[in-house]
Structure 1
Amino acid sequence: MKLKRTLVLLFVFILSISMMLSGCSTDDGDKQDDTTDSVSADTQSKDMPSTKAKTEDEQAVLTDEVTIKILYPWGQDAFDKLFKDIDEKLPNIKIELVDSQAQLAPLQELNAKQIVPDIIYANWGIDALKELDMIEPLDELIESHQFDLSGIDPSIIAYWRLVDSEGRLLGMPTASDNYTMYYNKEVFDLFGVPYPAKDLTWDAMVDLAKKLTGERDGIQYHGLEMGPGFAGTEALVPLKQLNVNLTDPKTGEVLIMKEPAVTKYLELMKKFYSIPGIYSSDPEVRKDYSFQNKNVAMIVSWPGYIKWGIGDPEIAKNVQSVPVPVWPELPNVAPASFSHPFIINKYSEHKDEAFEVLTEYVSPEHQTKLARIGDRPVLTDPKVYEEFGAELEVYDGKDISAFFSREPAIPTTISKWDQYVDLSGSLLKFSESDMNIPEFLRVLQEESEAKIKDAMAKGQ
């Protein structure tokens, strides 16, 4: 009993001492906090990382936050319009701009500085990225993330598979380049011509352009414009609908004199160019678009032309749209769509997270937001199309379905040598010369063969 009583007294004593020590520890801790708060900012910045920075680092570890760097060339404001919503939607991913260009010299400079963009906007093409071996094909990521490509414009997907010798998908599309035809109702009314139908063929377009070309009240009106001076890239639309190569993909042989589709196309263009007054005779005027000056009845161009080419809602209110004209044997076929791709960098350490960003970019929700500000959607979802231009006054009252109603041609082969056949750059000369089509093609073929031979010698 005596031993038991002694043990109880000893336990009470130890407990009392422990409580006293605990109270002292608390007091000292409060004093230590006061001391820490009194450390100057200068001393803290020199000798230790800030408490705030440490907290952010700890938070990043806790949430597994990953920063995805995206190379994009047009500044923070434009970048935010494309990616801010994604940044907010993916809590584990922070998106950061690398303000640079996907060209050889800027890419080499970034590599030298060990700046590794995870995603690269390849609006200058992919040649520099291929040379630097910076392309990560998407197929394995598509499979591992179980991503469904079927909602994306198939002509774009087909193109970016054909670019690769192994048929791999090299990039995710950004915005779709497709075509429509705008017309100015005031010009049609002035000439007393009914507005164009939605199922126009190219031959019907020739007749319509004739009726709308002429002088009224001292002003020369032009029935149709397809690119500046009726000789720009848009003038190739009828040929693009025929979906042909200008060169042999394997040998580089120039095929323009053998390909019936090229002759067929030039015969159409000859009909247009033979209309007196269809384009201005002033070479300076031919360097720019004229439709916005209200002296052109129709223009074949991109849906975005009314935004960047006109801009003024007062002019745009008299403009309407119909689907791009077609060849009779291809009654609903538009040119294949094109899109500059987002490329995942082969050297990225965060490929899965980068792919998450890209899948969110082409999601219906995000594509709808982009469509509303006039970015051309890459999805084939009609609900996304219907929202196109909804936040821009220049699109008020426009027939938006005209932009997307045609089916794009699906490319089956592409040739890297086609870039050396400058057909669009030669149209100006063709429109103003008396050369017949075989003679024109012979000259263009000789010029193209020389360029291709030089490119092959340089290993391009």
Structure 2
Amino acid sequence: MAKQIWNRALLLPLGAVIMLSGCSGGGTGGVPKPANEGTDAPKVDTSPVTVKFATSAGIFNDAEFKQYVTEPLAKKHPHITVQYINTSEKGSGITDLVAAGNIPDIIVGYGGTLKQLKDLTLLSNMEPLIKKYKLDLGRIIPETLEYIKVNGDTDYLGGLPAFNNTFGLFYNKSLFDKFGVPYPKDGMTWEEAGDLGKKITRNYDGIQYRGFFPDNVNRMINQIVLYQLDKNDKSTLTTEPWKNAFDLWNRIYNYPGNADAPYNTMNFANNQSAFIKGELAMIAGSSSTLLALRKAPDVNWDVVTYPQHKAAMGYSTNVDTPNMSITEQSKVKDAAIQVIESILSDEVQLALARNAKMSILTSDKVKLEYAKGIPEFEGKTLNLTSMTKLKPSVPRISKYQGSDTNKIVLDAYEAVLRNEKDVNTALRDADEELNKLVDSKKKNQ
């Protein structure tokens, strides 16, 4: 169903709204000037209105959308109807909608969507609406707001965050008990986690037990805000910090018994399966790992803070939020901002946090409730709040950086894992490949 009509509520998937920040009128694509702040609350027009909302199905399923968007909105603004457009369906992608002249009022997506909206002249300055409706941005984790400006390459807010995906170091308590190794603790560095993994790694009763999967090296790169490209968009991959990053990954992951085939790749899904199967002791995962463990009741697990880099203590990896953006062309911006305001309410943000879609509020009360609404975890003593303790980092990404440049880095490290290249050769080859890719992008822009 490419389209669904939801009455009495605006169907606003959290991610899309952040991306299309349409704040003031006009469909010219220009940035509207900030409105003057009034002393009185704005008059709310309660005439029936329909808001077209577009997002991918992965951000909210039908039940979640009802819980976090339509039901709470209906209590406050029953005059609003939402037309839901699933951008995951063929022919309903953002570019398809624009080509058909069917521009949504709100679009929700991750960082790359902000860039796409800007390129399509859909991104608007939402700050006038934020001021008009007196939304308190002081309630919101500042890094999530910075992320929106960085990814949209703007000096204004082209969206607002909906929720944030969290990260942690998951460990199998049964394996640590089996081999008499102390459990991981909050506040560990990558080196400390890697050393624990080595104590677990062994072949026992014909089974190869592995100690640690740290996820791909780009996660740590984002943590320490190490860039692939310099200010002139030239590769930095042959610099000393990148060599140190690869050397660190070699120390904590690339050793016999831990990174042998088929684990001589950075394939996360295979390693998560090994963790759930009970053959991997630790995995640096995210809220998606947490949700996968809902379906694995026999695994005796817990979680501690995401491993930290010695040069960036206190930080997890990068911000990972779906963003809610109002399109510049929208004719119903006031209704759209009311939808976003509802999603950012204490009530909705608490409900999101309780179901492992971490709130973007700074509130300690909300953080303490993280994932406590998941029935499969009831009665278990789990250190779930560890996933909310560290700050997210905000890498400034060149417009030429994306999944294709990330793949160059991944391929380079996997060549090292497979003993095809040493670190220096792998980085030198990747450096050359990255510069060629960027040059090609510049020529074709």
Cα deviations across residues 154-175 of structure 1 (Å, max 9, x unaligned)?
2221121123444111211122
Cα deviations across residues 46-74 of structure 1 (Å, max 9, x unaligned)?
xxxxxxxxxxxxxxx99412222211232
- 1:418 and 2:401 aligned: yes
Alignment of 1:25-424 (within 5 A): 63-74=46-57, 76-91=62-77, 92-101=79-88, 106-111=93-98, 113-123=100-110, 125-227=113-215, 232=216, 235-249=217-231, 251-258=232-239, 260-282=240-262, 288=270, 289=272, 290-308=274-292, 310-316=293-299, 318-396=300-378, 397-411=381-395, 413-419=396-402, 420-421=405-406, 422-424=408-410
Taking only aligned residues, the RMSD between alpha carbons, in angstroms, comes to 2.6
CA contact (8 A) 1:373 1:391 kept: yes
Q: Which residue of 2 aligns with 1:440?
A: 426
Distance 1:201 1:62 in 2: 53
- Kindly tell me the number of residue pairs found equivalent between the two proteins: 388
Partner of 1:198: helix, strand, or coil? Answer: coil
CA contact (8 A) 2:353 2:371 kept: yes
| Bigger RCO (CA 8 Å, 6+ sep) | 2
Distance 1:78 1:427 in 2: 38
Please say which of residues 349-358 and 321-330 is displaced more in the overlay: 321-330
Aligned-residue offset at 1:104: 9.2
CA contact (8 A) 1:103 1:128 kept: no
Q: Which residue of 2 aligns with 1:51?
A: none
Aligned-residue offset at 1:110: 2.9
In the alignment, residue 324 of structure 1 is paired with which amino acid? Y
TM-score (norm 1): 0.77
Bigger proportion of residues as helix:
1
Aligned-residue offset at 1:312: 2.5
Aligned-residue offset at 1:191: 1.0
In the alignment, residue 261 of structure 1 is paired with which amino acid? P
CA contact (8 A) 1:373 1:389 kept: yes
- Which of 436, 441, 444 aligns to 1:450? It is 436
**Structure 1 residues 243 and 190: alpha-carbon distance in aligned structure 2, compared to 1, 3 A threshold:** same
Gaps of 5+ in 2: 1-43
Please say which of residues 426-435 and 189-198 is displaced more in the overlay: 426-435
CA contact (8 A) 2:211 2:258 kept: yes
Distance 1:236 1:163 in 2: 17
Partner of 1:95: helix, strand, or coil? Answer: strand
**Structure 1 residues 456 and 147: alpha-carbon distance in aligned structure 2, compared to 1, 3 A threshold:** same
Aligned-residue offset at 1:342: 1.6
Partner of 2:324: helix, strand, or coil? Answer: strand
Greater Rg by CA: 1
Partner of 2:211: helix, strand, or coil? Answer: strand
**Structure 1 residues 323 and 165: alpha-carbon distance in aligned structure 2, compared to 1, 3 A threshold:** closer
**Structure 1 residues 117 and 237: alpha-carbon distance in aligned structure 2, compared to 1, 3 A threshold:** same
**Structure 1 residues 62 and 293: alpha-carbon distance in aligned structure 2, compared to 1, 3 A threshold:** closer
Aligned-residue offset at 1:129: 2.2
**Structure 1 residues 216 and 404: alpha-carbon distance in aligned structure 2, compared to 1, 3 A threshold:** same
Aligned-residue offset at 1:328: 3.0
Partner of 1:121: helix, strand, or coil? Answer: strand
Cα deviations across residues 53-100 of structure 1 (Å, max 9, x unaligned)?
xxxxxxxx9941222221123264453243122332222322331223
In the alignment, residue 440 of structure 2 is paired with which amino acid? D
Cα deviations across residues 179-230 of structure 1 (Å, max 9, x unaligned)?
1111100000111101112121222222111101111221111101133xxx
**Structure 1 residues 418 and 131: alpha-carbon distance in aligned structure 2, compared to 1, 3 A threshold:** closer
In the alignment, residue 118 of structure 1 is paired with which amino acid? D
